[in-house]
Amino acid sequence: MMPFLHIDLLELILKGLLIGIIASAPMGPVGILCIQRTLNKGRWYGFVTGIGAAVSDIIYALITGLGMSFVMDFITNPTNKFILQLSGSIVLLLFGIYCFRSDPRKNMHKSSQSKGTLWHNALTAFLVTFSNPLIIFLFIACYAQFAFVVPHHPVEMTLGYMSLISGALLWWYGLTWLVDKVRAKFDMNGIQIINRIIGGLVIVFSFAMLIGTVFNLYTIHY
């Protein structure tokens, strides 16, 4: 039987928002597509592209959470928990370094000049994102680091997953708003700048979490 877990709802919501942003922010194929569509078709075409990506992300987030819920006895063991959180911090650190050093412009494809419907733009973004299941490893790292999965608490976990997709949508809304506001001055170099800022923030954040895990400078309450 699982031990009683005290769950701080505000903390769970903040974790979900942060995980949603971390999963969405790097400038992969969909991020570039979102920016291109914002510039070429308009802000809302860019935003529905982000919505399509967010739907794919939440599916993989649910799959990851479901899988981890079956091994909670292993995860909640103090030694295993420490190892998982340490591994999660290292994975996030490597992920941040990769984002900072990579140049997403090398993998750019010319965006279609035909606007299409909002539904079509969302669907194509969903398919592009869903075709990359490697994001599961990012979710595993985030879940391990933030102790996000709390099984046998469906209401709280539903709130957590809603926060996760809200974080993703918040990112796509903010990105399309920014690109739309500076469209006259925005060029493809801006994609590289955004990616480096994101990578730098992830590096700093994950390094702080790594130090905190090693020296037990922070606690995660259940």
- Tally of CA atoms within 13 A in the half-sphere of 37 that contains its CB: 28
* pLDDT tens-digit series, residues 1-49: 444 445 678 889 999 999 999 999 887 888 888 988 998 889 999 999 9
| Residue 165 reports pLDDT greater than 80 | yes
Q: Write down the pTM of the prediction.
A: 0.79
* Mean per-residue pLDDT over the chain, rounded: 83
Over residues 109-133, mean pLDDT: 83
pLDDT value for 91: 83
pLDDT value for 163: 95
Domain extents in the chain: 9-215
pLDDT value for 4: 43
Over residues 164-189, mean pLDDT: 88
